[in-house]
Amino acid sequence: MTDNLSPIDKAKYVAAKRAVEYVEDGMRVGLGTGSTAAWMVKCLGEMVRDGGLKITGVATSTRTAQLAQEVGVPIVTLDEARWLDLTIDGTDEYDGDLNLIKGGGGALLQEKIVATASDQMVVIADQSKKVEKLGAFPLPIEVIPFGWQTTRALVEESLINMDVLGRKTSLRMADDEPFRTDEGNLILDLHLRQIGQPRQLSFVLNQIPGVVENGLFLDICDVVVIGNADGSVEVRDINNGTVNHERVDLNETDNLFVDIAD
């Protein structure tokens, strides 16, 4: 039950439960990656098992695909689905215009492809992810392994002319080995502290040979659902220009809280 959850997990669960209300029977739904998105997948699994919801999911990572299959959400590839009605995903940061930094879980490339192949993107978050300006969270970029150190040097050189407060970069590691994405690529984390012109930065980074994609999600997100541990949620809709404050029922069945590996 939710009483056994930490405050941060309660906030994530509340946001996820509210976000899945956007899902309707027959939809093709993009399933995000990360700890917050895992709650969303579990909520959908319960709706499929206990509520008879019929949906088709497209996962943004092998981890999400495995979890979806474990909780009973049918999965197909994006090529099979072709286009999606909705994507629900978490975020590492979001600003007042609902621009995002994503990629803390290392799935930014598939996440961005899936999100941009959707009619709508709903992001789930807790209050800690809200920032005035993006950049406090390190910006991930996915790079191919060949010549990655040259790519890194080109990235660092390009940052000299960018409106950022820091220019340190680091190769993401997994234990003692470089972290590998589902595509076998590497992740460079850019410790920028603050990004003054995210659109310019995104464009410049993606022009560098060896850079596959960056973690700036600009003009992609439509709705952010912010959860709180007390069961309250804030729903910000950028298209309608609305901000609604609601409450989510925290009384849940035991099925959702079965220990399933994220």
Sign for the pseudo-dihedral over CA of 101, 234, 250, 23: negative
Q: How many CB atoms lie within 10 A of CB 48?
A: 18
187-191-194 Cα angle (round to 5): 130
List the helix and strand counts (H, then E) for the chain.
Answer: 7, 16
Select from 206, 184, 220, 230 the least CA-distant residue to 100: 220
pLDDT at 250: 76
pLDDT at 182: 97
- When pLDDT is cut at 50, 70 and 90, the band that residue 113 belongs to is very high
Within the chain, all domains assigned CATH 3.40.50.1360 are found at 2-130+219-257
Bigger pLDDT: 71 vs 257: 71
CB neighbour list of residue 79: distance below 8 Å, 6 or more residues apart = none
Q: What is the mean pLDDT of residues 139-145?
A: 98
Burial class, 43, CB count within 10 angstroms (exposed 0-12 / middle 13-18 / buried 19+): buried
**Active-site residue numbers?**
111
Q: How far is CA 212 from CA 72, 134, 140, 144, 171, in A?
A: 32, 21, 11, 7, 15
CATH of domain 139-215: 3.30.70.260
Within the chain, all domains assigned CATH 3.30.70.260 are found at 139-215
Q: What is the mean pLDDT of residues 237-250?
A: 93
- When pLDDT is cut at 50, 70 and 90, the band that residue 2 belongs to is low
Select from 190, 184, 185 the least CA-distant residue to 202: 190
Strand partners of residue 139: 190
Q: What is the mean pLDDT of residues 64-72?
A: 98
Task: Locate 135 and state its tokens.
Answer: 């950049």
pLDDT at 5: 87
Look over the chain and give the mean of its residue pLDDT values, rounded to a whole number: 94
Q: Are 38 and 126 spatial neighbours (Cβ–Cβ below 8 Å)?
A: no
pLDDT at 261: 41
Phi then psi for residue 190, to 5 deg, are: -100, 115
Q: Which CATH class is domain 2-130+219-257?
A: alpha beta
Rounded Cα gap, residues 2 and 229, in angstroms: 10
Q: Which helix (H) or strand (E) holds 141?
A: strand 139-143
- When pLDDT is cut at 50, 70 and 90, the band that residue 128 belongs to is very high
